[in-house]
Amino acid sequence: METLTALAGGFAVALTPQNLLWALAGVTLGTAVGVLPGIGPALTVALLLPVTYSLNPTAAFIMFAGIYYGGMYGGSTTSILLNLPGESASVMTAVEGHLMARAGRGGAALATAAIGSFVAGTLATAALTVCAPLMVELALGFGPAEYFALAVLAFVAVSAVLGESRLHGFASLLFGLLLGVIGIDPLTGVPRLAFGIPQLLDGIDVVVAAVGLFAVGEALYAASRRNDDADFVPLRGSLWMTRDEWSRSWKAWLRGAAIGFPLGALPAGGAEIPTFLSYAVERRLARYPAQFGRGAIEGVAGPEAANNAAAAGTLVPLLALGLPTSATAAILLAAFQQYGLQPGPLLFQHEPRLVWGLIASLYVGNLMLLVLNLPLVGVWVRLLTIPQPALYGGILILASAGAYSVNRSVFDVGLIYLIGGVGYLMRRRSIPLAPAIIGLILGPMAEQQLRRALAIAEGSPVVLLTRPISAMLLGAAALLFFGPLIVRRWRRPLQAPSDST
Amino acid sequence: MKLFLTLTAVVALTSSPGYLVAAQPSSSRLTIIAPAAPGGGWDQLAREMERELERQQLAGVVQVENVPGAAGTIGLAQFISGRRGDGEALLVNGLVMLGAILWNESPVSIAQTTPIARLTGEYEVVAVPAASPHRDMQSLVRALRENPAAVSWGGGSAGGTDHILAGLIVAGAGIDPRRTNYIAFSGGGEAVTALLGGQVTAGISGYSEFAQHIESGRLRAIGMSAPSRSGVLDVPTLIEQGLDIELENWRAVVAPPGLSGSDRQALTALVERMAHSESWRATLTRLGWTDSYLAGPAFDEFLDAERVRVARIVSRLRGTSSPRVGEWVFPFLVLGGAALVMIALIVRGGATPEPPPAGPRASNGPVVRMAFGLASFVALLNLAGFVAAGTVLFVCTASAFGSRAWLRNALVGLTVCATVYITFTHGLGVSLPAGAFLNAR
């Protein structure tokens, strides 16, 4: 009941004409960046951060959340028509969706993706509405030991499940942690790994790292393996789904939502895993399994629903604990910090208008996205005709301007290029980028929480294991870390390397 | 034209005593530097001053500049080295900066600047969770004397006001402040969360951070660092409870070093007129800030006394600061982990060669072209300006993607850059470098 009152208050905030406009701007921008290959919501929010200082935080977050959701919708368009996932979360959509498009059912694929995203997004937002306040109650009992354990679990989960191998995941994570160490240690005032460079004393801004990895690294990578003959299938056929397609889609949407939300809420790397899982589930449960591999609509409906539900799921730990579990969430956390806000249990008390306005705007944004993506899908398809040279040229100009405006220093511009170079090498060795961003933003938090926990316990590390929640979280992390090694040893004879795509 | 205006302003400021400047101010310029990112207390003070000075037409053009970094010490260092003798600049600072200079062992000092005036301040409150056994400071002091390490203090950044007060209280209890078990939290309520959750024994903060929870009864205020109780805040002072401690988290403005006497007078007069106005008082009330205006020799003395007091306590607090887990443990763990992963990657890479990724083969030519574009951008940005440097970057990038239409790309690039430049500088208020050519004009 209390939640409903709060949510009603949120709608009062979200439905003001001004905030509706920000939501519209966000979802439009989000869809656009989702459609365009190479830029995603994490990069877009990072680029917008330095220029939204003057905006009031509620408006900014309504827009950012719109970008996050919009990116999930837009990603499907590129996957289906171009077989180029605009987002890592729409990789699975590309598999069946592109086959559908080639079979002349591109319209139906886009429709099931958009409607599925809407259904799952709305259900997951409702789940977020219910879960977040419960999580807040739980989070008040969290001390430094618990936060440290939570961060460790997030590190292990993100590195172990993203990308092709655990080793690659940890390489990326450690790169992020290393970047996070640079600068003045806030507890002792001692500069670390700054090598006497004054611009490094304050550490490396998450915005700078994200822009470097995602914009510059991506541009270099795209240039190095230029794809002149992308398989673009123009949109043909009706946007309407047949009765049969509806009946095959709706269960997949619901299952996708049920898989996406909880997995998104766990510290396990956002939307990629749920889409893989949803695809596998649909394949197993399908009425016509033989259609998988030839354009099965369930294979689009499930993963698309799952990725939107997961996006809502990620907001639960972000808002209630201040714990980001995906690259975009990490940037959103940086955005909160820019406004001097600390996501966590108190945010719901101190900034109810912001939090509930944001949640309410997610319902509104989902509705807007359905309208934007179904009747207007033709407009978005036209975005795909922007030639690559101009697209990446434009991205680099914006990235450079954005990086410069963080601190008004050329040094930061050089830094994003340098980090972009590293990002390019990582992509060439298929090392995932998201763990690096998570490591950068959570690393300093983990370190400080650990040192706080130890100081409060007068130096005894046992505190991490005597507090039940902390012990449980660390246990889960250990299981995730060592579990696969043990399992592999047991079933070595049976084990065959599975292809992750 | 700009140069002419500036010249007139300089002449007006340097040649006339304070009251004259106040009388004919509309041509004067003033830059207020907030050595912090937008949004914090120093930035807020700078922006309120900007608004006030312009509204009252005490100064013609007032501009706020943010120089964030290292709790203000980066802004201070730039201010001291870059603005020597500049009579049109003020730097916002405060007690937190005094602490940070010592804590970060910054090579600069506030003593190198020219003090102008203290403007506002806030007293600190010591609070405990509602369930805590401590009902007053005496009880907390007894616990401290029993085992100083068992009393953990939660507050803001290390070396800041909250930390200083914790050190003063421990010292006031007759214990070596080196034994203060202070847990630094970053701002924005993290310390409050820890206090509400009972993670620390006591919390220290400005009243505003605690207000809501003290009123709702979840926190109990047991001491306040003011000289006497005030009507708004009926909490026993530390002095009443036998600890001779008074601490105000003040904020002030200073001028650059090497200022002429008349410049200093003019700036002081300017700030004084603003601080004594009705509308400034209204602003303070609106923001819930206390007026603690102090200028002239009295402020000089105050600043000196604070420096000595803060230096004494912070140098002793610093002694404790590498308690159980030093600042190098975590970096070494990370570096060690990185080395292990590197070795593993190399070993595995040697054993099983990377399977060539699907899609077209990677080629290096385009990467080199783009890298050239990026390098030129960095080299040209401040020299030739954003638009020119960006156009070069655009053309190089396009060529890396195989486009050979040089002229068309240059035109498109120019348009894109000009649009971004205009949007950023005029639409968003974020200035991009215009280039040496434009600046010279």
Contact A298, A110 (CB under 8 A): no
The predicted pLDDT at position A237 comes to 64
The region of weakest confidence among A12-21, A175-184, A455-464, A490-499 is: A490-499
The region of weakest confidence among A84-88, A356-360, A447-451, B86-90 is: A84-88
| Type of residue at B116 | I
Residue B335 and residue B352: Cα distance in Å, rounded? 25
State whether residue B196 sits within 8 Å of chain A by CB.
Answer: yes
Q: How confident is the model at residue A402 (pLDDT cuts 50, 70, 90)?
A: confident
Encode pLDDT of A427-475 as tens digits: 888 888 888 988 998 898 899 889 888 888 877 888 888 888 899 989 9
Cβ distance of A226 and B188 shorter than 8 Å: no
State whether residue B430 sits within 8 Å of chain A by CB.
Answer: yes
**β-strands B181-184, B152-155: how paired?**
parallel
Give yes or no for residue B193 having a pLDDT over 70: yes
Average pLDDT over residues A324-339: 84
Give yes or no for residue B21 having a pLDDT over 60: no
Task: Give, as one character, the DSSP assignment of residue B155.
Answer: E
Instruction: Examine the predicted complex and report whether its ipTM is higher than 0.85.
Output: no
Residue B348 and residue A405: Cα distance in Å, rounded? 41
The predicted pLDDT at position B8 comes to 43
State whether residue B336 sits within 8 Å of chain A by CB.
Answer: no
Give yes or no for residue B23 having a pLDDT over 50: no
State whether residue B406 sits within 8 Å of chain A by CB.
Answer: no
Residue A409 and residue B66: Cα distance in Å, rounded? 12
Give yes or no for residue B69 having a pLDDT over 70: no
The region of weakest confidence among A419-428, B78-87, B158-167 is: B78-87
Helix spans in B73-189 (H): 73-82, 95-103, 137-146, 161-172
Residue A193 and residue B338: Cα distance in Å, rounded? 15
The region of weakest confidence among A299-313, B166-180, B367-381, B419-433 is: B419-433
Cβ distance of B359 and A400 shorter than 8 Å: no
Contact A330, A207 (CB under 8 A): no
Q: Could you identify the residue written with the tokens 């550490």? A: A203
Encode pLDDT of B105-119 as tens digits: 778 888 888 889 998
Encode pLDDT of A135-149 as tens digits: 888 887 788 898 899
Residue A346 and residue A342: Cα distance in Å, rounded? 8
Cβ distance of B323 and A455 shorter than 8 Å: yes
Average pLDDT over residues B273-299: 85
Cβ distance of A455 and B378 shorter than 8 Å: no
The predicted pLDDT at position B126 comes to 94
Q: Global pTM?
A: 0.80
Q: Which of B158, B341, B390 sits opposite A167 (nearest CB)?
A: B341
Cβ distance of B373 and A396 shorter than 8 Å: yes
How many CB pairs below 8 A link A and B? 244
Taking CA atoms, B274 is separated from B56, B63, B121, in Å, by 8, 16, 17
- Percentage of chain A with pLDDT > 70? 92
Give bridge partners of residue B155 from the DSSP assignment.
Answer: B184
How many other C-beta atoms lie within 10 A of the C-beta of residue A262?
Answer: 18
Residue B68 and residue B76: Cα distance in Å, rounded? 10
The predicted pLDDT at position B26 comes to 42
Q: How confident is the model at residue A63 (pLDDT cuts 50, 70, 90)?
A: very high
The predicted pLDDT at position A269 comes to 57
Q: How confident is the model at residue A416 (pLDDT cuts 50, 70, 90)?
A: very high
Residue A452 and residue B183: Cα distance in Å, rounded? 6
The predicted pLDDT at position B105 comes to 78
State whether residue B179 sits within 8 Å of chain A by CB.
Answer: no
- Percentage of chain B with pLDDT > 70? 84
Cβ distance of A393 and B432 shorter than 8 Å: no
Q: Which of A177, A226, A394 sits opposite B402 (nearest CB)?
A: A226
Radius of gyration of chain B (CA): 28
Average pLDDT over residues A493-501: 45
Give yes or no for residue B18 having a pLDDT over 60: no
| Type of residue at A218 | E
Give yes or no for residue A320 having a pLDDT over 90: no
Give yes or no for residue A316 having a pLDDT over 50: yes
* Helix/strand/coil (H/E/C) assignment for every residue in A150-182: HHHHHHHHHHHHCCCCHHHHHHHHHHHHHHHHC
Encode pLDDT of B373-418 as tens digits: 999 999 999 888 899 999 999 999 999 988 888 899 999 999 999 9
The predicted pLDDT at position B220 comes to 92
Q: Which of A350, A404, A456 sits opposite B189 (nearest CB)?
A: A350
Encode pLDDT of B126-137 as tens digits: 999 999 999 999
Average pLDDT over residues A46-74: 85
| Type of residue at A109 | A
Encode pLDDT of A190-218 as tens digits: 788 888 887 787 788 888 888 898 889 98
How many residues comprise chain B?
441
Give yes or no for residue B186 having a pLDDT over 80: no
Give yes or no for residue B359 having a pLDDT over 80: no
The predicted pLDDT at position B324 comes to 56
Average pLDDT over residues B190-208: 85
The predicted pLDDT at position A257 comes to 93
Higher pLDDT, A230 or B102: B102
Average pLDDT over residues B168-179: 90
Give yes or no for residue B299 having a pLDDT over 50: yes
Q: How confident is the model at residue A124 (pLDDT cuts 50, 70, 90)?
A: very high
Residue B412 and residue B432: Cα distance in Å, rounded? 19
Q: How confident is the model at residue A119 (pLDDT cuts 50, 70, 90)?
A: very high
State whether residue B353 sits within 8 Å of chain A by CB.
Answer: no
DSSP element (H, E) containing A40: none
State whether residue B44 sits within 8 Å of chain A by CB.
Answer: no
Q: How confident is the model at residue B322 (pLDDT cuts 50, 70, 90)?
A: very low
Q: Which of A51, A181, A346 sits opposite B193 (nearest CB)?
A: A346
Cβ neighbours of B366 in A, within 8 Å: 223-224, 226
The predicted pLDDT at position A360 comes to 92
Cβ distance of A188 and B334 shorter than 8 Å: no
Q: Which of B74, B184, B367 sits opposite A187 (nearest CB)?
A: B184
**In 3D, which of B391, B389, B277, B266 has the Cα closest to residue B14?**
B266
Helix spans in B236-354 (H): 261-275, 278-287, 296-320, 329-351
Q: Which of B69, B197, B430 sits opposite A51 (nearest CB)?
A: B430
Average pLDDT over residues B215-238: 85
The region of weakest confidence among A95-99, A247-251, A266-270 is: A266-270
Cβ distance of B374 and A417 shorter than 8 Å: yes
The predicted pLDDT at position B14 comes to 41
Mean predicted lDDT score pLDDT of chain A: 84
Distance of residue A37 Cα from the nearest chain B Cα, in angstroms: 15
Cβ distance of B401 and A185 shorter than 8 Å: no
The predicted pLDDT at position B7 comes to 42
Distance of residue A5 Cα from the nearest chain B Cα, in angstroms: 20
Distance of residue A376 Cα from the nearest chain B Cα, in angstroms: 26
Distance of residue B397 Cα from the nearest chain A Cα, in angstroms: 5
Cβ distance of A223 and B328 shorter than 8 Å: no
Q: How confident is the model at residue B48 (pLDDT cuts 50, 70, 90)?
A: confident
Listed by number, the residues of chain B in 151-170 with a beta carbon closer than 8 Å to a beta carbon of chain A are: 152, 157-159
